[in-house]
Amino acid sequence: MREEPKDRFPRDNDGYYIYDIANTHLSQDYERYTPEDHKVWQILYERQMKNLPGKVTADYLRGIEQIKFVADHIPNFAETNQILTSLTGWRVYVVPGLIPTKAFFELMRDRNFCATTWLRTMSQLDYLEEPDMFHDVFGHVPLLTNQNLCDFLVKLSQIALKHIDSPVALEAIARIYWFTVEFGLIQEPEGLRIYGAGIVSSSGETEYSLFDSTPERVPFDVKTLINTPYRKDAYQARYFVISSFEQLYNSIGEIEREIDALVEQALAIVM
């Protein structure tokens, strides 16, 4: 049985792992993946790589080639990081799972993308209660080759850290992260495409977000987005569509102004 970081540390009531993050260096322990782990990766990888062309942003497909993910084995983070660091200065940083918000944003500000190392089992292919490595790595890492998205994440982390003691600011940041990096759509010249990792790593939501008549698809707008609650237990009711990753990066000034204003309003109510 592999001992994963997720089995080594206690969690608080909200499910956040509690450990000395600054002084604990976790690694992937690649040799301990079993043939079945690699097989699970292969099934998920092949299924989604067959499904994604024509549905995912061109930058994702370019990114997955650049970082050399393949079907027949789980990515080795040491190799991934060499490539990723040379492209955008980012690296995959091993965590056991959810970590406290401040530490998460401090790591992200320093261009560390937090990822778990455990993979779902064969019997959990389509249902998971929390993100595993397929989500964190297959879903997120290819787009960490996109400089605009990377720079957006650094700036967003800086705003989060500036307001780390403000629950209203953190909720707004969570919504922004959710409706872009996790569940964002992009309008490309060839058509509507997905880029959010929560969709990219889910074959069901790939179809639903693009083609189902139920959800709303609205242009990316900071104010509207901050006022839209998200759903963790079901497909989204609303998706936000960016026109380019540059647009996303360029929205950071407005995001900061909106969040500063929210924090001021909240303080005025208290006083």
Q: Helix %, strand %, coil % for the chain, to 5?
A: 55, 10, 35
Rounded CA-CA distance 115/75 in Å is 12
For position 144 contacting Fe ion by CB under 5 A, the verdict is no
Structure tokens given for 221: 């707008």
Rounded to the nearest whole angstrom, what is the least distance from the CB of residue 131 to Fe ion in the complex?
5
Residue-by-residue DSSP string for 137-189:
IIIIGGGGG-HHHHHHHHHHHHHHHHTTT-HHHHHHHHHHHIIIIIT-EEEET
Give the nearest distance from C-beta 182 to Fe ion in angstroms.
Answer: 5
How many residues make up the chain in this entry?
A: 271
Query: Least Å distance between CB 140 and Fe ion?
Result: 6
The stretch near Fe ion (CB under 5 A) out of 19-27, 66-74, 146-154, 194-202 is 194-202
> Which of these ranges, 70-78, 101-109, 141-149, 191-199, lies near Fe ion under the rule CB under 5 A?
191-199
Residue among 179 and 263 whose Cβ is closer to Fe ion: 179
Part in contact with Fe ion (CB under 5 A); list of ranges 55-63, 98-106, 155-163, 196-204: 196-204
Residue nearest Fe ion, CB atom distance: 197
Integer Cα distance of 141 and 80 in angstroms: 9
Region near Fe ion per CB under 5 A, out of 72-80, 97-105, 189-197, 244-252: 189-197
At a CB cut-off of 8 Å and minimum separation 6, what does 86 contact? none
Q: CA-to-CA distance for 122 and 133, rounded, in angstroms?
A: 14
CB closer to Fe ion, 84 vs 197: 197
Judged by beta carbon, residue 183 or residue 245, the one nearer Fe ion is 183
Q: Residues 64, 169, 185, 197: which binds Fe ion (CB under 5 A)?
A: 197
Nearer to Fe ion, 198 or 252 (CB): 198
Min dist CB 136 to Fe ion, Å, is 6
SS3 state of residue 17? strand
Site of interaction with Fe ion (CB under 5 A): 197
